[in-house]
Structure 1
Amino acid sequence: MDADKQRNDKNQVLDSKIPGAAYYALGVLTMVYSFNFIDRQLLAILQESIKADLGLKDAHLGLLTGFAFAAFYVTAGIPIARWADRANRRNIVALAVFTWSFMTSISGLAQNFAQLLLARIGVGVGEAGGSPPSHSMISDIFPPQKRATAMGLYSSGVNIGILFGFLLGGWLNEFFGWRVAFVVVGLPGILLAIIVRFTITEPMRGQSEARTASVTQAPLTEVLYVLWSRHSFRYLSMGAALNAFAGYATANWTASFMIRSHGMTTGELGTWLALILGLGGAIGVIAGGYISDKLSKRDKRWYMWMPVLALVVGLPFTAAAFTVDGKYMALACLIIPGIIMNSYLGNVIAMSHGLVGLSMRATASAILFFIINIIGLGLGPWSVGLLSDLLTPSFGGAALGMALLYIVPAIMMMSALFFYAASRNLQRDLSLAPD
């Protein structure tokens, strides 16, 4: 009888209406994630001007947008996540926003590659404190059956950030130069840090599931063991990493490709990419989480099948974008991939949290993002830049497009295979999650 009452009480909590404060917190945290990607994506639209001003090569640009940034981002991510699993997550997010916004602003003062590299490392360390604590808070606010939708809304910050990063960066660079663009885009984040600190309430751990978190933090080795013992996590993390590889390579190099191959200006190009990769991508990532939550009522494997479908549909359009004649035809080919490329994000975060205990979630996010970013962000842009330099003697100005064509479609297909493999063990692994 007591067990039945506990189940009924738990179901009432899960089915109860989510308060407005929860949606406010989700909205502010999504804005935080948007600023994260505005500051990160800004470099992609500015890099041709920076390359000319500072005398850089494509490999240098690939390091700035890829591995050098990712190495510090992921290295700082796990210690900060461990802190977030036992401390006030709201305060950690506020401190992180302040740090990366300040470092973005001073990027405009760089006089050489080394100085710009150090500033971007500072951005990476600051941004490492944004997502794991935010993910953990969202999982405590929204119940499991609505979590992928909530994570999808939060993850739309990637594309909102891309939208404003391209739009603001493109026009600010055209009229005022790349240095002013960094300063203007970075400063508003300091105000956002204050909003986070004083208007969001730290949620109680486990409140969305009527569960009580252990007062003892699980050791990092235990979290790693739980995740590694779940075959679904092994495959979904690799699927996500390869999807991110293709996504970051495309997002970070498309602007340079369009400028070199089609002669577009940063203002016009920034506007087009803002709409395609920004607005379109935001719609896709929100829809991906929402549709998966609906379909998962029949079968949990839809959380992995949705990314598979997105990658298969987007692959031929991606390949065509780097081969067709005419700038507007190339931009048109990017529309479908732009909408669906990041639709996996809400799903993989929600499933990673579903596989672990309440006090492991920020750490689980950090581990997931470590894998995603060291492979996706670290190797994606850098690999394309390196191959572009190698192909330049043979292909000249077309080398960057060829590098994207050789790398991105193949990685997308590999990602789809990993997501499909993850679906085979997902339902069983979710049932084994500890408290």
Structure 2
Amino acid sequence: MSTAAAARPDARAWFVLGMLCFVYVLNFLDRQLLSILAKPIQDDLQVTDGQLGRISGLYFALFYCLISIPVGWLADRTNRVRVLSFACALWSAATVACGFSSTYPQLVAARMAVGVGEAGGVPPSYAIISDYFAPGTRGTALGLFNLGPPLGQALGVAFGASIAAAYSWRSAFVVLGAVGVVTALAVYLFVREPERGRLDFKPSAVQSPLAMEKAGFYETVAMFFSRPVLVFVSLACGATQFVTYASLNFTTLFLMREKGMTLNEVAVYYALLIGIGISAGMYASGRLIDKFAPRGKHAYAMVPAVGLALAIPFFIGFVWAPTWPLALLFLVGPTFFNYFYLSPAVALVQEEVRPQERVLAGALLLLVMNLIGLGLGPTYLGAVSDLLRDTHPNNSLQIAFYTLVPFYVLAVVMFLSLARKLRREAVSTGDNL
């Protein structure tokens, strides 16, 4: 085994991972505050489910996804830590602006600015982590990094709902956005930019001067979309995120409006469920990838496929449950299994491309899966709920949630197809199955 492959992460690597994970926590916390505080925002600004779906889905995703591409290209050619620090400061300031919005259009503009900032958050972090952690440890590292969404969601529920209950929903945006501005400064001062590709052990990728030339924007985009595995994993993730983002953006509203939970109950019970359940799922999937991927790359697809298949019956039980305690009990299943896709997908993409292509490749992965999942999932669910509101005024969201089940099945089928494609690739290249 090569030295790079056997390298163990040092203390600085773990420190950087902790810092980047905290930034990701804030990234997702700020992104999810709108859905967490949907009920008081609806009451104050008089917006519909459809309007909430568009502002948390389509409007946000258009800016978040499209800006991530030039940001990814810039980060591949410049200092990734500085790009990340500036992006964190921008989205945090925009979060503060959300708290000062007095009309729906103002809130839309502030949310778009949040999307612009958050576009520079995750792709540079993926690449920085890949240059601090060697192959064989990246699955676990990325699994830990991907604890950001569940921790951000949990802390957003806990602190956002608590602050809103004690003061107002506006105060929650202002306070939590201010924390992000301070964190951006800390990243700039304490995180060191690593050498690109220093832990990759393929001689052609590290030692060749030609291989280490800066990757061209159009060349990298063409490479990404010409490789079936990269395109297919992006589409499978998009189908998964259609379900996860649709659910995530409306679960709090669903629990409060149709299951009878209060804001204070959400701040305690739902926060604990999200924080523990998704974190455990993220970490477990990363460990499973490090265990099974060396035996065959198809594990990158089988782990998500099995997880999503196991989530389906629990999801149906959650939607059906007549009381919120029973609903939360069923929600444990989807909360744990729904996120088995993210760490395997990110690890697969990062290992399939050259070191100098990683940020842009990560941005392209996010572009495809977030345009489909983040852009269309909440938009679809809010629109269906609005459509059913006249005929089913007391349970329009419940029926809308049921319509997400076929998208679960689609995601499972797509990951199984990806697993078959990875097996065939392994056979054609002579790799171990």
TM range (shorter): over 0.9
Q: Which moved more, 1:274-283 or 1:101-110?
A: 274-283
Q: Which residue of 1 aligns with 2:380?
A: 383
For 2:118 and 2:177, locate their aligned partners in 1 and report how far apart those are by CA, in whole Å: 13
What amino acid is the match of 2:94?
M
Task: Tell me which amino acid in the other structure corresponds to 1:325.
Answer: P
Contact 2:30 2:92 in 1 (8 A): yes
* Cross-structure match for 1:178: 169
Structure 2 residue 390 is the aligned partner of structure 1 residue 412 = no
Specify the code of the residue in structure 2 equivalent to 1:411: F
Deviation at 1:224, TM superposition (A): 2.6
* C-alpha separation in 2, matches of 1:217 and 1:104: 34
Query: Root-mean-square deviation (CA), in Å?
Result: 1.5
For residue 283 of structure 1, the aligned residue among 275, 280, 283 is 280
Report the equivalent of 1:270. Answer: 267
Instruction: Quote the Cα distance in structure 2 between the aligned partners of 1:203 and 1:428.
Output: 35
Q: Does 1:199 align with 2:190?
A: yes
Deviation at 1:427, TM superposition (A): 5.5
1:120-145 deviations in Å (ceiling 9; x for gaps): 01100000000111111111111222
Unaligned 5+ runs, structure 1: 1-7
- Rounded to whole Å, the distance in 2 between the matches of 1:76 and 1:427 is 34
Q: Does structure 1 conserve the Cα–Cα contact (< 8 Å) formed by 2:260 and 2:323?
A: no
Which residue in the other structure is 1:169 paired with?
Answer: 160
**Aligned AA (2:287):** Y
Report the counterpart of residue 305 of structure 1 in structure 2: 302
Aligned mate of 1:374, from 351, 355, 371: 371
1:149 aligns with 2:145: no
Q: Which amino acid aligns with 1:112?
A: T
Contact preservation (8 Å) 2:154, 2:272: yes
Q: Does 1:75 align with 2:66?
A: yes
Correspondence list, 1:270-349, <5 A = 270-349=267-346
Q: Retained in 1: the 8 A contact 2:308–2:340? A: no
Q: Which amino acid aligns with 2:266?
A: L
Q: 1:239 touches 1:415 (CA, 8 Å); kept in 2?
A: yes
The residue identity in structure 1 corresponding to 2:244 is: G
What SS does the aligned partner of 1:85 have? helix
- Contact in 1 for aligned 2:8/2:134 (Cα 8 Å): no
**2:139/2:290 contact within 8 Å kept:** yes
Change (3 A) 1:158 1:397: same
* Contact 2:238–2:370 (8 Å) recurs in 1: yes
2:315 partner SS = helix
SS in 2 for 1:274: helix
Percent identity of paired positions between Structure 1 and Structure 2: 34
Indicate the larger mover: 212-221 or 344-353.
212-221
> For residue 426 of structure 1, what is the aligned residue in structure 2?
422
Aligned to 2:246: 249
1:160 to 151, 155, 163: 151
Moved more, 372-381 or 220-229: 220-229
1:351 and 2:342 matched:
no
1:429/1:102 CA distance change after superposition, 3 Å: farther
Aligned position for 1:3: none
Q: Distance in 1 between matches of 2:38 and 2:8?
A: 46
CA drift of 1:331 comes to: 0.8
Letter in 1 for 2:167: F
TM-superposed CA distance for 1:422, in Å, is 1.1
Q: Are the equivalent residues in 2 in contact too, given 1:304–1:347 (CA < 8 A)?
A: yes
2:24/2:148 contact within 8 Å kept: yes
Aligned length: 422
* Cα distance in 1 for residues equivalent to 2:367 and 2:18: 25
**1:166-217 CA distance string (max 9 Å, x none):** 1111111111111111111111111111111111110000011142574532
Does structure 2 conserve the Cα–Cα contact (< 8 Å) formed by 1:234 and 1:422? Answer: no
Which residue matches 1:360?
357
**Hey, what's the Cα distance between the residues in 1 that align with 2:8 and 2:389?**
58
The reply to whether residue 52 of structure 1 matches residue 52 of structure 2 is no
1:16 Cα deviation (Å)?
2.4
Larger mean CA deviation between 127-136 and 16-25 belongs to 16-25
Which residue of structure 2 lines up, in the alignment, with residue 35 of structure 1?
A: 26
CA distance in structure 1 between the aligned counterparts of 2:160 and 2:194, rounded to whole angstroms: 35
Separation (CA, whole Å) in 2 of partners of 1:167 and 1:410: 32
| Paired residue type of 1:311 | L
AA matched with 1:175: A
> Is 1:111 paired with 2:102?
yes
> 1-side partners of 2:272 and 2:372: how far apart?
27
Q: Secondary structure at the match of 1:352?
A: helix
Give 2:10's aligned residue. 19
- What amino acid is aligned across from residue 371 of structure 2 in structure 1? I
Gaps of 5+ in 2: none
Q: Deviations over 1:278-316 (max 9, x none)?
A: 221011101101111101222221111000010000011
**Which one of 225, 230, 239 corresponds to residue 227 of structure 2?**
230
Cα deviations by residue, 1:324-357 (Å, 9 ceiling, x for unpaired): 2111111111001101211211110111112211
- Tell me the SS of whatever aligns to 1:217: coil
Distance 1:143 1:421 in 2: 29
Letter in 2 for 1:304: A
